[in-house]
Chains A and B, each alone.
Chain A
Amino acid sequence: MHNAFFQLADLIDANLQSGERFTAWLAGETSDFVRFNHARVRQAGRVEQAYLTLRLVAENKQVSVTLGLTQHAPADHVAVLAELAALRGQLGDVAADPHLLLSDDCHLASRVALNPQLDAAAIVAVVTERAAAYDLVGILACGAIANGFASSTGSRLWSETSSFNLDWSLYAHGDKAVKSSYAGTTWDEALFTQKLAGAVAQLALLQLPAKTLAPGGYRAYFSPVALESLLSMLNWGGFSEKQLQVKRSPLLKLQDGEVALSPLVSLTEDTAGGLAPAFQAEGFLKPGQVALVQQGKLTGSLVSPRTAKEYGLGANADGEETTQSLHMAPGDLPEADVLKRLGTGLYVGNLWYLNFSDRMNARVTGMTRFATFWVENGEIVAPLNVMRFDDSLFRLLGEHLEALTVERALLVDADTYGSRHTASSLLPGALVGRVELVL
């Protein structure tokens, strides 16, 4: 795919007319997807896809097309030249774009980490055999992901990695389940077996009579996965510079200093430590780190090239202005002491289906899900029936935040909408003095 993409880029370059520029972004993958239900296979198959997003610029106008490639060079060359001609014709329909900003630099870089030993069929055999006695449900996504960028400034950037992500749950009964995942670049059967054993051990706790809580305020510990759900709401415009500018960010009051988060909260977009490509679709290299929140105060934002041009700022992010590699500073609470420090309250393993109930006050509602337990005097005593919470992130990560764990978990995005995603986060768990349950 690497050579084919850069040949296409050269072809486009050679067919530009005077005054024209182009950028090209490639997103391709060869993925085996295997769905499991009851520790057996529900649907299994392979998807091979490659999409080229070609942007043509002239006289400060821009138009673009995302074209599905056949990965058969002669056919793709014909299709790309036809789309280039179509784009040229469409430039006449659009106005000059005052917010257009492309990198003028020429970047050359390539990162390739392929693992031909990754074998989805072998993984499926292990999973179905080892989990045969349990009710395992989930998805295996396995194979190579490629991203490339090329432009008329001569930039040629490439990232291609093999990986797998086994995202799964073990069900005890009804809606009581343990959620787990195993993602990486090299499959280790022993590690999977260990993770499975850990989940099986939790199943016993889920067999205990479930407890239903009355609405009200409770102490709670949010696992790194649950905390990721809370922080993911800040990707709904929270850190977006454009959304801050147009007063739609849920962090507006944090920006204005009307509220502050706990000094324990420091958040960084850590591209250097993440899994997503370090380049983006306008040809800019992303900085290694962008400090977003430091000791509870908003110190940065994610700025796309378009926003950068509009407001006279420096670009540091993708067009969507969302975190791809969110890292949170650890705290001083050892994971081993979490239950003891929690005392009596909720151990929240997972949250589900979060949304804003009052965006400007960063008030979020959502559900507990999977392994969530009631803890009394530092001991897990019962699984919880699902409960709805409705509370402000300004409180949960502000006055009510008591501690963050020393240990952090690397969470790899399992989303596969359109393509396999490459986002990740590195987060601790969070102990809060009060979370409001409402239903």
Chain B
Amino acid sequence: MQALKTTFAKLRPNVDFCALRVVETRGETLAVRQDVQEPLTRTVDRGAMVTVLHRGGYGYAATSRLTEAGLQAAIDEAKRWAELSRTRSVFDYSQLQMPEPDGTYRSPQVADAPQWQRRELLDLLMAESRAAKIDDRIVDWGATVALLQTRQFYISHAAAVQGAAGVEQEFHYVMPGASVTAFGNGDSQTRSLGGQYNGYYRQGGMEIVQAAGLIGAGRRVAEEALELLHAPNCPTGQMDLLLLPEQMMLQLHESIGHPLELDRILGDERNYAGTSFVTPEMFGSYRYGSDLLNVAYDPTIANEFASYGWDDDGSPAQKHLLIQDGILQRPLGGAISQARAGLPGVANARACAWNRPPIDRMANLNIEPGDATLAEMIASVEHGVLMDTNVSWSIDDSRNKFQFGCERGMRIENGKLAGVVKNPNYRGISATFWRALKRVGNASTSHTMGTPFCGKGEPNQVIRVGHASPACLFANIEVFGGES
């Protein structure tokens, strides 16, 4: 990275602002399905994006040719696009003062990478797979663990010329999972460890494999899949809804995270990911949820999936409350969006890779714990349903009307759990749903989750986000099950 900085410093962009962002990634996925190893796959990638702001225009160029000639060509191309767009740009980028950061960030246990013992991990996955085949009705089963190591470097050209260090960040992600499908009497039910599209994904070392519950998951998940086969459909009606963290992460992501993204509010995403029911004048006064709702953008939690020291435009990352005591405070918007909107924001201009430009993303978005134990919340429900582990998600393009489904539910009657139900679904409207929040679980009910599959942007980007949430109880929600 330092050699690249030296090369970059030697070049002469002759523009108002020029920055280099280099990203190196190495990944590996191990999986066992139906007691057979899936093909081992690895990824090795390295490239850079040059961003140019010049005479009010903005241009970028991404290249994997990290030689002097390659970087110069990228600068020329980015400058060309800045020139071409400057008279027809949605924003006069000459108003911007971009950050000039220095520093380092490293995931916890970065030095732990050598502990990636491929054979032992494959043995573990095989053991969990075999443990899952507990019945002839188990028709599909498997376990997986993926590792991703990323090194990033960011520096402006002016800082490089002055000999500044720039920002170096190194991330180490571990992603364990397990899934089992049971089939009988024409019905098929799938249960997973943490979700089929998300889970206990975190930054750190091999300790995450154990912390996520992968060890012993095969049999446990299989038993729950079989249990679902025999379960009745989720009841239909208006009732209390108790959501556990494996579903709360999705509820938070879709109906708070996305609508607070400032680029959506500014209209950038209207052709694809959508707009937002949130408008600029709402910040500081709009009641988003009940008094119990406190939501933080927090990139500082060491092992959460999207922690970092600086975003991809070089802004330093620090915790901010986006919603405090139910009142909307600030959006999720990086330096450029903040300047465009005239609103405060957070350091969340992020790119999924070297070949995509930064846009406003969620990073870590968490619900602050309350004071209720899980037992207290269950005991407070006269008639309701507990739901866990997202399996289906759908929400309108303004992020208002939603419908979500979970893998597993349990009826709650007169303050007690009263049996498992299958195909639990619920629907509501973001603008009113969070106002129905009536209990927030304490830290003992909170889990730190993550997903690598948050998609948005044009060109499209799928990126990692982290969500920590306690269990939460909502009043009078529309709940229903599968086809009768």
Contact = CB atoms under 8 A, between A and B. Distances in A.
B60 interface: yes
Contacts of B461: 417
A137 B397 contact: no
A352 B395 CA distance: 8
B380 interface: no
Contacts of A241: none
A95 to B, nearest CB: 5
Interface string A349-365: 00011111111110101
A29 to B, nearest CB: 10
Contacts of A357: 392, 403, 405, 423, 425, 482
Interface string A149-187: 000000000000000000111010001010100000000
Contacts of B65: 48, 70-72
A202 interface: no
Contacts of B43: 65-67
B274 interface: yes
Contact of B427 (A37, A93, A388, A420): A388
Given A48-B63, A121-B84, A416-B459, A367 B396 contact: yes
Interface string B47-80: 1000000000011111111110010000001100
A98 interface: yes
A43 B357 contact: yes
A392 B37 contact: no
B43 to A, nearest CB: 5
Given A37-B90, A98-B36, A386-B397, A49 B181 contact: no
A68 interface: yes
A275 interface: no
Interface in A124-145: 124-125, 128, 137-139, 141
A90 B40 contact: yes
Contacts of B187: 360
A110 to B, nearest CB: 24
Interface stretch (A245-253, A265-273, A292-300, A328-336): A245-253
B42 A44 contact: no
B89 A97 contact: no
B42 A97 contact: no
A360 B392 CA distance: 13
A360 B458 contact: no
A48 to B, nearest CB: 5
Nearest to A63: B40
A246 B140 contact: yes
Interface string B316-352: 0000000000000000000000000000000000000
Interface stretch (B150-158, B262-270, B282-290, B411-419): B262-270
Interface in B17-40: 34, 36-37, 39-40
Contact of A353 (B62, B394, B405, B423): B394
B139 A43 contact: no
Interface string A53-65: 0010000001111
B40 A44 contact: no
Interface residues of B, number: 77
A45 B90 contact: no
Contacts of B357: 43, 45
Contacts of B139: 246-247
Contacts of A55: 39
B448 interface: no
Contacts of A369: 396-397
A137 B268 contact: yes
A439 B482 contact: no
Contacts of B140: 246-248
A352 B274 contact: yes
Contacts of B62: 45-49
A35 interface: yes
B397 A46 contact: no
B355 A49 contact: yes
B333 to A, nearest CB: 14
Contacts of A175: 275, 397-398
Contacts of B394: 353-355, 365-367, 388
Given A177-B270, A417-B461, A41 B88 contact: yes
26 contacts: A36-B90, A41-B58, A43-B357, A45-B77, A47-B61, A47-B356, A51-B45, A64-B42, A65-B43, A66-B44, A97-B39, A124-B85, A125-B88, A169-B270, A171-B267, A246-B34, A246-B140, A247-B183, A256-B186, A353-B394, A353-B396, A357-B482, A367-B395, A369-B396, A388-B396, A415-B460
Interface of A: 31, 33-38, 40-51, 55, 62-72, 79, 83, 90, 93-95, 97-100, 121, 124-125, 128, 137-139, 141, 167-169, 171, 175, 177, 179, 246-248, 252-253, 256, 258, 352-361, 363, 365-367, 369, 386, 388, 390, 392, 415-418, 420, 438-439
Given A44-B84, A121-B84, 4 more contacts: A37-B267, A124-B88, A248-B140, A253-B186
Please list the 6 inter-chain residue pairs (A to B) with the smallest Cβ-Cβ separation, ordered nearest first: A45-B60, A246-B140, A139-B458, A358-B482, A416-B459, A68-B45
Interface of B: 34, 36-37, 39-47, 58-67, 70, 77-78, 81, 84-85, 88-91, 118-119, 122, 139-140, 181, 183, 186-188, 190, 266-268, 270-272, 274-275, 355-357, 359, 392-398, 401, 403, 405, 423, 425, 427, 429, 455, 458-462, 482-483
